[in-house]
Structure 1
Amino acid sequence: MKNDAIIKISGLQVVDDSGESIETISAGKHYIKNEKHYAFYDELEENNKKISNIIKFDKDFIEVTRKGAVNTKLNFTLNKTNQSLYSTPFGDMLIEVFTKNISLNEKESDVNLLVDYEMFIDGDKVSDNKIEINIQHNN
C-alpha cells in the first residue's frame, strides 16, 4: 500500500573547501515491500520540465532513479564504489560514487535517511557530498 508522504531532500556538496547546499520538498508516496523502502516524487526544473524520482533503500543500499530532463540511476552501497551514467541535456558523464556512510532511522510517522559519499569523474575526486532524505507520512 502506498502512503501519501512529504519528501524532503537536503544536500550538501563540498568542492575545494567550498560548500553548496540544496533543499527540495515535494508531495509523494512511500511504502515498504520486502524490507525495502520505496519513495516516489516529482520535481520541476527551472525550465518547468518534470523529473520523476524513485528512491529505493535499506540500511546498506540506496538506488536513486531520475527520469525526465535528467536521466540517471545512482547506486550507493556502503563502503563500495559504484559507477553510474549521468545523462543531461548537455551530454553524458560516467561518474563514480564511494559511499562512506548510510544511516537509516525509522519511526512510526517518519523515516530519515542520511548518506555520506565522495564523487569521482574520470577517476578524479570532484566533491564530498551529504544527502539527507526525510519522509513524513500524511496520516
Structure 2
Amino acid sequence: MAGECRSARSVECTQACLRPSRELRHGKTVPESDIEACRAAYASFESTKPTPEPVWEPEYVPMPDVVGIFRGALVDAKGRDDWKRYCRSSAQINGKALQMRGISKGATVRVSGVRYVTNPTRSFDRAKLACHADSVEVVSNP
C-alpha cells in the first residue's frame, strides 16, 4: 500500500503506511493500531482517486438503403440529405472503403444495411465515426 500511496503522491497515505510497511518487510511486529491507521488512510485515498474516463463506444442507428451513382469512394444519392449529412456519402463494409470493392465509376449501386454513429466523439480516426454497411450491389453498369 505504501508504494501505491507514494506513486500517487498522497502524503497522508504515505506517512501512515511507510513505517509499518518497512517494519513488516524486515520481519518486525507492528502494532495493530498502525496497521489500522494505514488501512484507513489508504481507504480515504482510494475514495478520492479520480474515476477513469469511460471508453467511448459508438452507438449506431440504421438508415434505409441508399441507391446512387458510384463516384470512387463516394455514392452520389440524389435527394438523400441524411446520407450526405451523417455519412458524408461514404460507408465502410467490413472495415474497408467502397473503393476497394472493384466497382467501376459511374455504376448505379445499392448500399444496404447502412448504420451511422449517433454519439460522435472528437477524433481524427475516421474509422470511429464512419458509417458502416452490410453490403453493396451493382444495380446497373455505366
Same fold (TM over 0.5): no
Q: Which has the higher strand share?
A: 1
The alignment's TM-score, normalised by the length of structure 1, stands at 0.24
